[in-house]
Amino acid sequence: MLFRILKNSFLKRPKAVFLVFLSITMGAAVATAFLGIAGEVSHKMALELRSYGANILIEPSAVEGGGFLREEDLPGIKTVFWKYNITGFTPYLFGIAEFSAGGKTERGVVSGTWFNKGLEVPGEETTVQGIKVIAPWWDVQGSWPAAADEAIVGAALARRLKIGVGSEVATTVRERTQRFHVSGIVTTGGYEEEQLFAPLVTVQSLLQRQGKVSRVLVSALTVPMDDFGKKDPATMSKDEYEKWYCTAYVTSVAKNVEEVMAGSRAKPIWQIASAEGALLKKLNSVMLFLTVLALGASATAVSTSLMASMAERSPEIALMKAVGADRFQISAIFVGETLIISVAGGVVGYLLGDQLAEIISRTVFNSTIASPLWLFPTAIVSAFIVAIAGSVAPLRRALLIEPVRVLKG
Amino acid sequence: MNRRRWLLQLVLRALAHRKGRTVLLLAVLAMASSLATALGIVSTSMGKRVAEEVRKYGANLIVIPESARLDVGSGGLNFGVVSEPAYLQQRLVEDALARSGLKAERSFHLRGALHWKDADLMVEGVNFADIRRLFPWWQLKGNWPAAGETVVGSDLATRLKLTTGDTLELVGKSQTLRLRISGIVSSGGEEDGLLFLALPELQQALGLDGQLTLVRLMVTAGGDSLKKSAAALQLLLPSAKVNEVRQTARTSEGLLAKVKLLMIMVTAVVLVSAGSSVAGTMSTTVLERSKEIGLMKAMGGTRWEVMLIFCGEALVLGVLGGLAGYIFGSAIAQFITRTVFSASAEFIPWFTGISLGVSLFLALLGSVGPMIAVFRLDPVRSLRGE
């Protein structure tokens, strides 16, 4: 009997059912899309902010200048406790050199570095490290160096030497000369424009510093500094220190990488780190507000549309009462109806919301997103709860009505 | 006239008679339009707010003497000075900035060497008030310096074993300075190896009155791109080089675009879904009135007249819902901007139009759409309730 009533209730008034279904679907879609991206957005934004450049600098701990770090320690950076937070790093080796090209001679800085190096670490996935990863704002005309004798020249240096892509530059350090083929010219608006960047190995042999680097820039995902993070680790108790070490503050990640580089000290580059923390905090709270707003709105929309559709059905309820249905039976019919619509709406809404999250993530961040599986049951159950919440009030009112008065009209 | 009043009365009575339904519809319409208003205001002001936040990354333009070399940037990648110093005239730069009409925060820097004991120290003359605005990332232990005081970079302090409260005697080309250390600064950048003092004091000590080595500008690019601002300023300052700091400038532009895009997509998704749901609710309430429509038609009302009555109702609901939505939505936007950015959201009057538009559109869509279906009904059948 119940099934026949339910079946007919769907078949005889398809429009009304469709409208409620539409509203539940939309609500579930928005809820799924938002819950799906909310967590992801903060991660994506953090990654996005990493394009401002490295936030940790590792240098030799010897204060008196000089001093070098060992290149062989570098792969260790990908094995530290916070290895998954480290999005990239690049070593540099500096030296003052005489550059000459076409009869002009200039003093300048020669930097050996990694541009785009595949780094293999035993037990870890192979990653790509180098300038291309941590400094996406570099505007390179021409191409990145591919061979050991190719180099990128800063725009200001190139202007003074009157060279362009394809030229040759002779670089002399203490009577040793290395000829570089210029593969690209870089414009950054910073100190990079005054330097010549060449592969690390070549510069190491040019400067006679095999296996040495002078600095390492590390780009790491960190959490914003709070009051606890600002405390001096030296004054912390054991428990506090553990908590500090296990939170991805920029200071604790720096401490972490410092430990794998022999004879080094790592310091946060505060220009990047502090601005990033502040920005991330704000973007996250905006996202949180929007999620709350969207969830609230879809819940309201769903329950009001249920209210509207229930309100028109008081004659039906009165008739049921008149033919002898008790409150339980009437409730069963309506709850059953709501259950069916909201499960269907929840499923369709979940699929739709999943697509929406995907579209948003692809257009904004150029990346795919996987909605967590727990969202599926959550979408359906919450659709049902919201729908029931919307129909409770009109149902209760309908149950209280006097059949005679309603049927009279 | 009479007819119009009759129509008006019919509409108002219909709304007043079924209070529950009217309140429900008003609520959903107000909700949808307040959502539109709140999201709209937050998205439009978001660009501005994030732009302000992004300024914490530091200057986006720098001005240096034409013959000088660039040695600025974040992180410790600069490798000291390898060229002869060159200077900018402070007066010329100020003139050019005033004439260009550029809205920019500025900070003037003069770098030089002062003799201390038997070593040369790299010192920088700055205006500390500007530093506090343009370099919010400085981590200062101690106090900001007053006159006759100085701030020392942390690396330099460790190297020379200096602490807060020490007094230094620095010998310049034309004057000797006695400075007390008021604080130690660490930034993770080149500042760690420098000693900072007030710009005029250094200019006098070095005998370089009115000279600068570097000007940092934080341009709030209002619509115009930073590149254009740089080019405009370059024209006014032929003796200098104006450089765009790509690390902060370009990255910020990219980030802003992403944040805006995200906000637009989110707004669109929420509006479409809430809108369709609201229009659906409206339709439900119209569908249930097929009996009423049948009666009107049976009494000789034309389609046009019946339509007019329903549109009138939708209009009244739409306007009221839109107004309520604007007020409510502005309050939400205000709340969000205040909590997150601790700034008050702009009051944007033309959003009243958007709010009213959204509300009216949904109300009419929700009532006219199903009406067309209802019209096809035979009055007799709909009166019989089939």
Q: With pLDDT > 90 as the criterion, what percentage of chain A qualifies?
A: 12
The CA-based dihedral angle spanning residues A108, A110, A111, A112, taken in that order and rounded to the nearest 10 degrees? 180
For residue B287, give the chain A residue with the closest CA. Answer: A16
Closest by CA position to B34, among listed B312, B264, B274:
B274
DSSP A145: -
For residues B340 and A284, give the distance between their C-alpha atoms in angstroms, rounded to a whole number.
9
Closest by CA position to A88, among listed A40, A56, A46, A59:
A56
Q: Is the dihedral of CA A65, A70, A76, A77 positive or negative?
A: positive
pTM of the model: 0.79
What is the arithmetic mean of pLDDT over A101-114? 86
Q: How does strand A150-154 pair with strand A195-199?
A: antiparallel
Phi, psi of B265 (to 5 degrees): -65, -45
B73 touches chain A (CB under 8 A): yes
pLDDT at residue B79, rounded to an integer: 52
Phi, psi of A364 (to 5 degrees): -80, -45
pLDDT at residue B191, rounded to an integer: 84
Going along A102-174, which residue ranges are E strands? 104-113, 117-119, 127-129, 139-142, 150-154, 168-173
User: Where do the structural domains in chain A lie, given as residue ranges?
Assistant: 2-46+279-408, 55-268
- Six-digit token string for B233: 């300023």
For residues A89 and A56, give the distance between their C-alpha atoms in angstroms, rounded to a whole number.
9
Nearest to B79 among A49, A94, A300 (CB): A94
For residues B363 and B370, give the distance between their C-alpha atoms in angstroms, rounded to a whole number.
12
What is the arithmetic mean of pLDDT over A172-182? 89
Contact between A22 and B276 using a beta-carbon 8 Å cutoff: yes
Residue of B22, B35, B48, B70 to mutate when probing chain A, most A C-beta within 10 A: B70
Contact between B137 and A274 using a beta-carbon 8 Å cutoff: yes
Q: Which of residues 227-246 of B touch A (CB under 8 A)?
A: 243-246
Instruction: Give residues with Cβ within 8 angstroms of B386, minimum separation 6.
Output: none
Nearest to A293 among B35, B188, B262 (CB): B35
B251 contacts on A by Cβ (under 8 Å): 51-53, 136-137
Instruction: Count the neighbouring beta carbons within 10 Å of the beta carbon of residue A372.
Output: 12
pLDDT at residue B74, rounded to an integer: 47
Instruction: Count Cβ atoms within 10 A of the Cβ of residue B352 and give its class: 0-12 exposed, 13-18 middle, 19 or more buried.
Output: middle
Kindly report the average pLDDT of chain A as a whole number: 85
CA A284 to chain centre: 11
A53 contacts on B by Cβ (under 8 Å): 74-75, 247, 251
Question: When comparing pLDDT for A10 and A114, which is higher?
Answer: A114
B35 contacts on A by Cβ (under 8 Å): 293, 297
User: Where do the structural domains in chain B lie, given as residue ranges?
Assistant: 2-52+255-383, 60-244
Closest by CA position to B11, among listed B253, B269, B284, B311:
B311
Reduced to 3 states, what is the DSSP secondary structure of residue A217? strand
Question: When comparing pLDDT for B169 and A2, which is higher?
Answer: B169
Contact between B265 and A359 using a beta-carbon 8 Å cutoff: yes
- For chain B, 386 residues long, give each residue's pLDDT as a single digit of tens: 577 787 788 788 877 877 878 888 888 889 889 988 888 888 888 877 887 787 778 888 888 887 766 555 444 555 555 566 788 888 888 888 888 877 788 899 988 888 888 788 888 899 999 888 888 888 888 889 988 889 999 888 888 888 898 888 888 888 888 889 999 998 888 888 889 999 998 898 888 888 888 888 888 765 557 778 888 888 888 888 888 887 777 777 788 888 888 888 888 888 888 888 888 888 887 777 777 777 887 888 787 888 888 888 888 899 999 999 999 998 988 888 888 887 776 677 888 888 899 899 988 888 887 777 766 766 676 666 55
